[in-house]
Chains A and B, each alone.
Chain A
Amino acid sequence: MTALSVKQINKYFYKPVDFHVLKDISFEVEKGEFVAIMGKSGSGKSTLLYLLSTMDTDYEGSICMNGSTITGLKPDQLARYRNEHIGFVFQFHYLLPEFTVLDNVMLPALKLKKKSKEEIEHEAIRLLNLLDIKDQAPKVASKISGGQQQRVALARALINSPDIVMGDEPTGNLDSQNSQIVFDILRELARDEGQTIIAVTHDDEFAAKCDRIIELEDGELVS
């Protein structure tokens, strides 16, 4: 089954100068597949991921997820779709600094309102435990290390059991051991839960273990 299908995507930046970032990009990703996106810095990986995450709607072409076209949906519909179906880890961690680690993880689920608060809290603790940062749960998010923040962001992305998890260098700040833990978790999710994983990475070792590598060069797909 196709989880994600991208057709003929073109993306331009107009400021500061006209710039064709993504050129005629088309590819498909199967459900449960673990895909790595690679490419040189500035090749357009983050830009592509913002399109896939439904946040950036300013592009040509179309994106389908799980059989439904998301291109052209209204902002509120997209917000709802993101909340329920997409988990996202940004290149820079982007937690809410005023909230505790636990609250940060719980917020998307509290918004979705599919489970009770107790269930959500239980699930959040489970994820934090899995990522080895359970002891950080009561701390304010601005008071933990960069690597810890990155793992909290991953826990937050996973809280609603999304169909697709997207990560922009999700292991960029981690030592090899924690990097391995994160990889194993994502690997397991893809295999056991059928969740689709798309991760941008510069780490060849990480990429080598993925099901498939999509490579970008100057905004064009090369493999």
Chain B
Amino acid sequence: MNVNQKIATTLLTYRLRQLLVAVLSVTFGISMYVAMNSFMAGVNNIQTEITFTSMPHIKIYNELSAEITPILSGPEDPGAILMVNNQRNIRYTEGIKNADAIKKELSQMTPVVGVAAQVNQNVFIRNGVSKASATLSGIETLNENQVFNSSEYMVEGDLYELDRRSNGIILGTGLAQNIGVGMGATVYVSNSEGMSKAFKVIGLIETGANAADRSRALVSIQTARQFFSKNRSYATDIMVSVRDYAKAASIAGDISGLTNYKVEAWQEGNSQLDAANLLRDILAISVSLTIMVVAGFGIYNIMNMTVNEKIREIAILKAMGFNGGDVIEIFLTQSVVIGFIGGLIGLVFGNIIIRIIDNIPFNIATLSTLPVDYRTSDYLLAFCFGMIITFLAGYLPARKASRIDPVEILRG
């Protein structure tokens, strides 16, 4: 410890109460930064999680192309007029024909973590007189769980029961409520061709995404193929999940090289989700930075007061031969120490606050407590910002102290 640091510590510890107030203002700023950002990250995570319980990162399907290919080429004779009435775009092939081959290729790509084929069709579900339209999804239970984590959202029953019972059906909780059925009830499902089949409700699922919960009915993929009289590797959609959902768009670009079917990343048509996440992050960072700047003003104020109070001591030090640089070091050391101690305590407090938030009951959607995320980067950033702000807040008063003219003060 050099002499300037020794002087700094002596001055700092001489007024413990003032030191405590300064440290607390940093602690407050840093802990709020950590808490705000962890909470917002938690909210973002839950939002994405809910989104991706029914929406895949990437979806592959057969799209009816929008442009109409003319049936006849233009007439050879420029004087002739070509007229085609009631021209239409008719889809000859439905669904994805070579689903198995595409699945196999996809599962070999490194960023892909899950691939699930689905047979989706709009149907009517009846229970006595009450009926509702729904989307019947034939799913491969194992793969489905890999992509959507579906088994976690089962409120009642078991997802894999679908494989064992060809007349089993799992309903979204909203849908079940709509038609007034519960576990074990029998419902009738009719397709667009007018065929009807009885199913037994063997499970209820709730993902938290309301629209899906009100319209979804799950059966096994074989059952769906039979019901719609399709062949063995028929699928309407292939759902893909990737390691980092933010990169879905570029991965979708890679996949579209493999197939002629439409490859759609979640960002397409869902930019509001992306925007919401970003906005929440901006909000969290700006609010917490504001808090830190306010804390910085606190330190500035305290250091300024200290300099004014210690003006005689500064003059004496200068009279003894300490120069301007020494004085800056003495006062800057004080604020850096304050920032460091306050910062460390702030990190601990921030952690305690988010642990408390993590335990506050919040029974909406699939949540039971408020969501938070424990991220090391939040702590590192909070600490860095805290140190930078205390440094700046300490530098200005220190510079002022270094410019004090000792004779002015000592002459009295």
Contacts and interface: CB of A to CB of B under 8 A. Distances in A.
A110 B410 contact: no
A110 B6 contact: yes
A200 to B, nearest CB: 14
A23 interface: no
A84 B312 CA distance: 21
Given A94-B312, A94-B316, A98-B11, A50 B324 contact: no
Nearest to B316: A94
Contacts, number: 67
Contact of B322 (A94, A95, A111): A111
Question: Is the contact region of chain A dominated by helix, strand, or loop, or is it mixed?
Answer: helix
A52 to B, nearest CB: 12
Contacts of A46: 411
A81 B322 CA distance: 10
Given A94-B312, A94-B410, A110-B6, A53 B319 contact: yes
A214 B7 CA distance: 38
Contacts of B11: 98
Interface string A67-98: 00000000110011111100010101011111
Question: Is the contact region of chain B dominated by helix, strand, or loop, or is it mixed?
Answer: helix
A84 to B, nearest CB: 7
Given A96-B313, A107-B3, A80 B323 contact: yes
A82 B320 contact: yes
A82 to B, nearest CB: 5
Contacts of B411: 46, 50
Nearest to A92: B412
A185 interface: no
B324 A75 contact: yes
A45 B276 CA distance: 75
B321 A98 contact: no
B324 to A, nearest CB: 7
Contact of B324 (A76, A97, A108, A112): A76
Contacts of A206: none
Contact of B10 (A53, A103, A111): A103
Interface centre among B7, B10, B323, B326 (most CB of A within 10 A): B323
B320 A98 contact: no
A96 to B, nearest CB: 5
B320 A107 contact: yes
A110 B318 CA distance: 14
Contacts of B410: 50, 55, 90, 94
Contacts of B321: 79-84, 108, 111-112
Contacts of A75: 323-324
Contacts of A82: 319-321
A81 B318 CA distance: 12
Interface string B1-34: 0010011001100100000000000000000000
Contacts of B324: 75-76, 79
Question: Which 3 A-B residue pairs are closest in the complex by CB-CB distance?
Answer: A83-B321, A110-B3, A79-B323
6 contacts: A76-B325, A82-B319, A88-B320, A92-B412, A110-B3, A112-B321
Interface of B: 3, 6-7, 10-11, 14, 312-313, 316-326, 406-407, 410-412
